[in-house]
Amino acid sequence: MTIENMSLWRQPQALALLMAASLTVMANATISPALAGLEQEFADVPDAGFLVRLLITAPSLGVMLTAPLAGWLTDRSGRRVVLLAGVWLFMLCGTAGFFLPDLKLMLISRFGLGIAVGLIMTAQTALIGDYFTGASRQALTGLQISARNFGGLVFIGTAGLAATLSPRLPFLIYGLSVLCLYAVWRHAPEPRRSGGGAGQAEAPGHPAWLVLVIAVSALQMLTNGLFFMMPTQLPFFFAAQGLNSALMTGAGLGLLSLCGGIAALFYGRLKSRLPHTVIFALGYGALAVGFTVLAQQGSATLSLAGAMVVGIGYATVSPGFVAIALALAPSGRRGTAGAILTASVFCGQFLSPFASTPAITRWGYDGAFGAAAALLALVAATAAAATVLAGRHRARA
């Protein structure tokens, strides 16, 4: 049965899915504090510096290449088995880095971690659509963004402390996924199907659902590509200003995650009062303001404020992508929709440095951040215009 009009915090299915959502933020960034130590450990390996950095991007590549298969499996083999397999593989490949003696084997395990993330995110997205409807679904899409933000604070902060003892210790943090494995096994049953999810009548979806989901995913890829300038470029941005890069980057990303996590908690209430176009206009407007502030290259306080506003804007727009895609897709194709969304997130992350680094080289940080702000402002203006046009259409009707 679907879950509606009940507190999500009291629903074991919701908590299990939120735990699964928190795992995805661990994939790339958890071992970031250990990179310098790993580079020293494998100093005798040819191209060690390059290969160690690939440990961060390898999961994204794994997600991108295997997300279509994850969608196919989710729609045909069932959500539960795919989610359980993903969490199990996540725990196995994540902790493998603590034991593996060879850097290339570690890279293979990180690629496997990306496959696991693809399975988890795809099945989890489909289950949100199967278990929840209406306002509960809207609220949960916001809560999963909060789970990722707050999970990032906990996991990355813990990894930073662990890395001071040994560059291998952060890999053991992936072992916490055993708690998620139990929660999913205990509280995430396979939805009963008579074509639809969880005992519902089949939801036919929009006739052009695939084209529309791809369009929504393209916007999500652009959004994530611009947002990922934060973790990939902030360290160098602060260093260029003569600030303590490690301290400022930690503070900036921490405040960004905290503000984003808090903002996402209110998404359900916001969506109950406003349409998606208004929320997108507000969220992309906040993103544009945040990047504009960063482009000023002012004081440390001003830069941190810009990062905080970016976090709020990103958390405001992100839940809408999942909510829209689930509303568009037929019940039996939610796995495919989830796979497309998942691939777009990590494709944007993977491509971000390839676009932002040349832009910074050519125009400087002020020019690159300013260009990002202009593009985001254009999206915000488009969403605002769509809101006005929709209002006029309703008035005429």
pLDDT given for residue 155 in this prediction: 83
* Mean pLDDT of the region 148-167: 82
**Which of 73-87, 134-148, 271-285 shows the lowest per-residue confidence on average (mean pLDDT)?**
134-148
pTM above 0.95, yes or no: no
Convert the pLDDT of each residue in 304-326 to its tens digit.
Answer: 999 999 999 999 999 999 989 98
- Sorted by where each starts, the structural domains of the chain and their CATH numbers stand as 8-396 (1.20.1250.20)
* pLDDT-derived band at 246, boundaries 50, 70, 90: low
Would you state the pLDDT for residue 193? 60
Over range 122-127, report the average pLDDT: 90
Residue, of 366 and 298, whose pLDDT is higher: 366
**What distance in Å separates the CA atoms of residue 355 and residue 255, rounded to the nearest whole number?**
25
pLDDT at position 2 is 42
pLDDT tens-digit profile of 187-197?
Answer: 989 887 644 43
pLDDT for 254 equals 83
SS3 annotation, the chain:
CCECCCCHHHCHHHHHHHHHHHHHCHHHHCCHHHHHHHHHHCCCCCCHHHHHHHHHHHHHHHHHHHHHHHHHHHHHHCHHHHHHHHHHHHHHHHHHHHHCCCHHHHHHHHHHHHHHHHHHHHHHHHHHHHHECHHHHHHHHHHHHHHHHHHHHHHHHHHHHHHCCCCCHHHHHHHHHHHHHHHHHHHCCCCCCCCCCCCCCCCCCCCCHHHHHHHHHHHHHHHHHHHCHHHHHHHHHHHHCCCCHHHHHHHHHHHHHHHHHHHHHCHHHHHHHCCHHHHHHHHHHHHHHHHHHHHCCCCHHHHHHHHHHHHHHHHHHHHHHHHHHHHHCCHHHHHHHHHHHHHHHHHHHHHHHHHHHHHHHHHHHHHHHHHHHHHHHHHHHHHHHHHHHHHHHHHHC
pLDDT at 165 over 80: yes
- Note the pLDDT of residue 3: 43
